[in-house]
Copies of this chain bind each other. A is one copy, B any other.
Amino acid sequence: MICKSNKPRNADATKEAILEAARIAFSEKGIDGVGVREIAEAAGCNAALVNRYFGGKEQLFAAALVGAFDMSQLLELPKDQFAEAMAAYMVSKRTEHKTFDPMFLALRSIFNPSAMELVRQEIQTHVTDVYASWLDGENRQLRAAMIGSLFAGFYLSRFVMCSESMGFEHDETLAPLLAKTLQIYVEG
């Protein structure tokens, strides 16, 4: 053998590399669109290590999902600034397809039965409940869910309808439209 692997062995580092590669790959192709060999190659290791460190593909997805939805900083704003700030945030997020995006991590695997349950729990505990308790008035759960619904639908539509003729790039028109919608759900 001429070529030996000269990089030092480090379980924690490779485990983290697998996790990072998984987050990106799952975001781009979904849990059913990417194979463990592909993830392992992106992480620079062997596919068998995925099972050794995470127990399987599904549990790797679960690990990639934890902490993906941390929207706490958005909720530190005063309520009368929230709608506008979130609209600006939604508009600003471009789907470059190359950077990790927690929204797509969830969206692209949402129809895999195992993944859906994981996503559902993660969204329920870290998004909907947080929003609901932050809101005032009645029907907080429903209004929080509608905020998430608007978020998901907007992401999905802009991703699918990427055509320039749709008008999704006219931020100065889009942002107020979104803000007005969000305001409805915030006010109740």
Contacts and interface: CB of A to CB of B under 8 A. Distances in A.
Interface of A: 30, 32-33, 107-108, 110-112, 116, 119-120, 123-124, 128, 139, 141-143, 145-146, 148-154, 156-158, 160-163, 165-168, 170, 173-174, 177, 180-181, 184-185
Majority secondary structure of chain A interface residues (helix, strand, loop or mixed): helix
A123 to B, nearest CB: 7
A107 B162 CA distance: 16
A143 B168 CA distance: 10
Given A149-B157, A156-B149, A166-B128, A142 B111 contact: no
Contacts of A112: 33
B161 A123 contact: yes
A110 B156 contact: yes
Contact of A180 (B141, B177, B184): B184
Contacts of A161: 120, 123-124, 128, 145, 148
Given A145-B168, A177-B184, A160 B123 contact: yes
A160 B123 CA distance: 10
A176 to B, nearest CB: 10
Nearest to A163: B124
Contacts of A162: 120
Nearest to A154: B149
5 contacts: A141-B166, A146-B157, A149-B157, A152-B153, A177-B184
Contacts of A141: 165-167
A177 B124 contact: no
A157 B173 contact: no
A170 B143 CA distance: 12
Nearest to A141: B167
A161 B123 CA distance: 9
